[in-house]
Amino acid sequence: MTNPTPVSDPLSIAREVILRPSGLDDARLDRVVSQVLAHSVDFADLYFQLAHEESWALEDGIVKEGSAAIEQGVGVRALAGEKTGFAYSDEIILPALEEASRAARAIASQGSNRMVQAWQPRAGHALYMPLDPVAPTPTRWRGSSGWTARRAPPIHA
C-alpha cells in the first residue's frame, strides 16, 4: 500500500472544496465565532466535514453493485467555564451555521439538560412521488414477461 501524496496547503483546499461552494469565507466564519464568544463563552471552534464514498462490486469484469454516499456538515463547540455545548448541522450554509452556533452557545452558557433543535431544514421541491411500493393495497398487479400484467388476488395481512 502506498502513502498518499502529502497535501501542500490543506486550508486552501478546504476553502475551495467546502467553504466556497457553500457561500462561506473566512470573514463570515470569523463573524460566527465572534458571535459565540460575545456571550460568556471562553472558547469556540468549528468543525467541517465533507466525505464522498463510492463502492463498486465487480464480478467477471462486470459491475454487479455500486453505491455512493456523501456525508457533510458543520459542528460548533462552545466552552464556558467547565460547561461545553455542541451543535451540528448537516447543511453547510450560513443560516444553519448561525443556528448551530447559537445553540452551542446557549447550551454552554446555560448548561441545562434540555434538548435544543439547532436547525430545521426546509422542505425542497419533491422530485419523486411519495408512494410506498410495499404498502398494502386492495389489489396488487403482478407483471410477467412480455410487458403484460394480470390482476392478482388481494393481499391480506
**pLDDT tens digits along 78-128:** 999 889 999 999 899 999 999 999 999 998 888 655 555 555 666 655 544
Task: Give the neighbor-by-neighbor strand order of the sheet with 83-89.
Answer: 43-59, 62-80, 83-89
Average pLDDT (49-53) is 88
The better pLDDT of the pair 146, 25 is held by: 25
Kindly report, residue by residue over 114-142, the tens digit of the pLDDT: 555 555 666 655 544 455 444 444 443 33
Question: How does the average pLDDT of the chain come out, rounded?
Answer: 76
What's the pTM value of the predicted model, to 2 decimals? 0.61
Smallest CA-to-CA distance from 82 within 108, 58, 103, 116 is with 108
d(CA 94, CA 96): 5
d(CA 147, CA 157): 28
